[in-house]
Amino acid sequence: MAELGIDRLPGRQGVWVALCGNARVWGGGGVVGLFALIALFAPVLAPQDPLWQDLMLYQMPPAWLPGSEPGYWLGTDSLGRDLLSRLIHGTQVALIVAVVAAGAAGALGVLLGLMAGYFGGWVDALISRLIDVWVAFPPVLLSIVLVAVLGAGLHSVIIAIAVIDWTRFARVVRAEVLVQKEQDYVASAVTIGLGRWRILFGEVLPNVAPLVLVLFTMEMAIAVIVETILSFVGLSVASDRPTWGGMIAEGRQVIYEAPWMMLMPIGCLIALVLALNALGDGLKTALDPVLRR
Amino acid sequence: MSLDPVLAVEDLWVELGPLDLLRGVSLSVAAGQVAGLVGESGAGKSMIGRSILGLLPTGARVSQGSIRFRGRELVGLPIRAHRDLLGRGMTLIPQDPMTSLNPVHRIGRHMLDVLRLRMGLDRTTARTRALALLDEVHIRDPEAVLMRYPHELSGGMRQRVLIAMAFACEPALIVADEPTTALDVTVQRQILRLIKELQVHHGTAILFVTHDLGVVAKICDTVTVLHSGRVLEQGPVADALGAPQHAYTQALLAATPRYDRPADTLHPVPAPLTEALRVEATALRRGG
């Protein structure tokens, strides 16, 4: 009498199949993973001390151009510091900011978005108006003002990004929660006797999690760009720590004599941001059918 | 009946903004009985169920009347106290088994949550009980089903799980909100038989919401016919369906296919009749 309808893949294997079959997840994830490994093992990978200056070897071209210096594969900057080592250490800063800032923005935004969507009423009104006011500020300007007030440093960059960009998460999560809370499983959870916070975090949040993951990936890309902008104008970490933005600023001054100095950090920036966006895009298409099943 | 009914709804009015969704509905469900509630879509069937369970959609509220559950007034009860009645007191078999289970949790999590939260069982006892319940709803290999995600089960299987969850806490009253509508016909029959079987075995009172008179005839003891939020006909199934008094019930019966009657004698419910009923209903005003 019982009709067993178990025809699909057991457990969550279906999701993994969808993820692995997606070229963007593969490609984007691969490149992001590579950058992550470089950041993680920066001290081991960097051939030179990124701060060590050799004024006799300033503005050396990369290895494939004439007049290059052995041991300096990507050449040196105006102070004779190894560009490859500086790029590698700059990756560390970029990725720390990307993960921590996107994580903080996500945590704040998801919490407020969940509350606004689920509780509705004055909670929703308050949070939604707050979001409206927030997005009315030009983000780059606001971040520069924030960092100027907080003082330069990695923590200020992270705080600035989190404080500005939580709205991206909050808006999308709120909208999705509005859909999810009308689903019958929420009514079932109420009849079962789960409390509202338990329903919010145990029942609704897992259903918006794929969406949050996609937003998080996209936010990492934005955080990398913002960090580069801030370090370009000298508002990020202290100047003795190599950053991509700082390198672009330094390279800008000698763009006619040594264009590679500016092009290389820009190339890294583009590669990482493209990879993060591709990964986010791939995740979105791979996870969506699961979300809507 | 000398016994107090499990559920007694009296002159219930529910409004959503300026709109009256229910207009003075009265009905009762006696212990161990199945009370049918029929009507076309929009008649307010589900609203009655939701009012009883305290799960009215945002904006809708009871404006007048009384809902007494085991002698206790539910209208005006604080939401928390009302929610505390759910599970062990009364519960719901939802309409759509596809959406009523959280897609991200395994069946085991759903069942264990009910048993632990509502019955206060510990993990091991709850698990044993869950297996027994799944067995009771004729699910083969309950161990494996506990490990499944909802989307891995068929609609009929999921409805069985939801039925098991409803009976898990031995509630006095179950509101079954069109529990077979989302299923195909052969599965419908099995599910109906299962609900009836468990109902008899546990002696539970059921308010059975449906739009299908055939279903009512099969499993209900009494029936209430609803239109535009008010009761048109009420009584034991044999009387109400055997010798319907109201023109609308007669029209509904004439529109219901039966095995002993060829299909060409079916008559749609005449539009002027429903229109007249709607006008009549809108003219109703709340009394004091």
Q: What is the pLDDT of residues A209-226, one digit of tens each?
A: 989 999 999 999 999 999
Partners of residue B113 in chain A, C-beta under 8 Å:
192, 194
- Contact between B156 and A5 using a beta-carbon 8 Å cutoff: yes
DSSP 8-state secondary structure symbol assigned to residue A200: I
Q: Any idea of the CA torsion for B250, B256, B257, B260, to the nearest 10 degrees? A: -30
Partners of residue A194 in chain B, C-beta under 8 Å:
113, 117
Per-residue pLDDT, A13: 58
Sequence spans of domains, chain B? 7-89+173-283, 102-168
DSSP β-bridge partners for residue A99: none
Backbone phi and psi for residue B37, each to the nearest 5 degrees, phi listed first: -135, 110
Round to whole Å and give the CA distance between A179 and B199: 34
Residue B282 banded pLDDT, cuts 50, 70, 90? confident
- Contact between A293 and B151 using a beta-carbon 8 Å cutoff: yes
Domain B7-89+173-283 has CATH 3.40.50.300: yes
Residue of chain B with shortest Cα separation from A207: B104
Specify the DSSP element, H or E, that contains A41: none
More confident residue, B3 or B217: B217
ipTM, two decimals: 0.79
Residue of chain A with shortest Cα separation from B103: A207
Backbone phi and psi for residue B128, each to the nearest 5 degrees, phi listed first: -60, -45
- Contact between B86 and A191 using a beta-carbon 8 Å cutoff: yes
Instruction: Please state the pTM of the whole predicted model.
Output: 0.81
Produce one character per residue of B213-228: b if its CB has 16 or more CB atoms within 10 Å, e if not: bebbbebbbbbbbbbb
Residues of chain A short of pLDDT 70, as ranges, are 1-15, 18, 288-293
B196-245 pLDDT, tens digit per residue, is: 999 999 999 999 999 888 889 889 999 999 998 899 999 999 888 888 88
Sequence spans of domains, chain A? 95-242+276-292
Question: In CATH, what number does A95-242+276-292 get?
Answer: 1.10.3720.10
Q: For chain B, which residues lie within 8 Å of any Cβ of chain A, measuring from their own Cβ? A: 53, 55, 58, 83-84, 86-87, 91-92, 94-96, 99-105, 110, 113-114, 117-118, 138-141, 144, 148-149, 151-157, 160, 162, 165, 187, 190
Round to whole Å and give the CA distance between A180 and A205: 9
In angstroms, the separation between the Cα of residue A194 and the nearest Cα of chain B is 8
Partners of residue B165 in chain A, C-beta under 8 Å:
188, 192
